[in-house]
Structure 1
Amino acid sequence: MDAPVTSLLHNASRGDAAAGERVFALMYRELQGLARARLARAPRVTAADTGALVHECWLRMQSLGEQHFADRSHFLAYAARAMRSIVTDMARRRAAERRGGQVEHLTLDTAAANAVADAPEDLIALDDALEELTKLDARMARVVEMRFFAGLSESEIASALQVSLRTVQRDWERARAFLTLALKP
């Protein structure tokens, strides 16, 4: 399935809207899997279902104009990042509504890699920590997004980032350590 998707992604990056729609159709089930995984980590954050999250993600990706995705893994990594952004935005809105518009940031009290963010504050804290990690090392942050949020394997991440498998493993270990410290109360 990778070859047809890669070909369609290249055509879509050259402005072929029909190819973009075909990619969406072919990748819909995988995008739903990403959305299910994303929402499973935030069950009380939003009432959005997986289909709504997939479609919102697709609309965001389309609104950015031409995107150049090297392959399926790169596309899924980008979709995972977009879904993270959407769910975090929803959590921020919900937290603001619950507190009369004043968001209070709380930290997770568990290890970041094994955390399941239930409350909007937990999701916001995790997103803030990932933003800090991005400032320190953008590739490490992308590894976390691809592995934790998209569920990609280490070899898929290495392929998408065009680095060695060992580099991905090192980045994952360092990122987990950073997030664990950043999210301690």
Structure 2
Amino acid sequence: MSDITVLLRAAGLGDAAAAEAVVALLYADLQKMARSRMKQAGHLTLLDATGLVHESYLRLFARLHKSEGGQAQDFPDRKHFLAYASRVMHTIVIDMVRSRQAARHGGEFAHVTLNTAVADLPPQGDDEILRVHEALAELAQMDARLAAVVEMRYFGGLLEAEIAETLGVTERTVQRDWQKARLFLSMALKT
């Protein structure tokens, strides 16, 4: 059992120091994921990779640390934690886009834009980001595993082998799922 796994279990039992240690030990992985997201976002966000990691940290720490009356998230290993972190980063990006769109309608907030284009699509505006998010939600209703592969690979930057291990499938299955998901999302975005 790795140190991360031990710490994740301790954090799940309410050990705040263990939760902080997990994030500290996986900080480089979280930075890598965030840089990947921000690279694709280009000029369209006020957040940088460090800002995205820190925003994610706040949400991840809340899930790792058992609060009064709350339930801590159970992460059996590093890969499951990073898969969840990719979903958290995705959620932060979508929340920021929605906030920006609300600000467009009379808000006094600074101009904030993001891009989480899926697959090999070029960067788009906020409307496109929300269309991608909605298409991903539709894909999740049809096939949750395909949506999980997209989140882990695209939003989390995990390798096919890591995704396969996390989902309990073969690498070839992950490759096929990725191809199916890309096709579905491309078709959904063309309509």
Query: TM-score normalized by structure 1?
Result: 0.86
> Aligned-residue CA RMSD in angstroms?
2.1
Question: For the Cα contact (< 8 Å) 2:10–2:18, is it kept in 1?
Answer: yes
Query: TM-score normalized by structure 2?
Result: 0.84
1:5 paired to 2:1: no
Please state whether the residue corresponding to 2:26 is helix, strand or coil: helix
Correspondence list, 1:55-134, <5 A:
55-64=54-63, 65=66, 66-100=72-106, 112-134=118-140
Question: Which stretches in structure 2 are left out of the alignment for 5+ residues?
Answer: 67-71, 108-114
Question: Which stretches in structure 1 are left out of the alignment for 5+ residues?
Answer: 102-107
1:157 paired to 2:163: yes
Separation in 2 of the partners of 1:184 and 1:177? 11
Which 4+ stretches in 1 moved above 4 angstroms? none
Separation in 1 of the partners of 2:123 and 2:131? 9
**How far off its partner does 1:151 sit?**
1.4
Equivalent residue for 1:146, pick from 152, 157, 164: 152
**How far off its partner does 1:117 sit?**
3.2
Separation in 2 of the partners of 1:62 and 1:20? 6
Please state whether the residue corresponding to 1:148 is helix, strand or coil: helix
Please state whether the residue corresponding to 1:68 is helix, strand or coil: coil
Please state whether the residue corresponding to 1:151 is helix, strand or coil: coil
Identity level (%): 50
Equivalent residue for 1:175, pick from 181, 184, 191: 181
Question: For the Cα contact (< 8 Å) 2:8–2:18, is it kept in 1?
Answer: yes
Separation in 2 of the partners of 1:118 and 1:112? 10
**How far off its partner does 1:14 sit?**
1.7
Aligned residue number for residue 112 of structure 2:
none
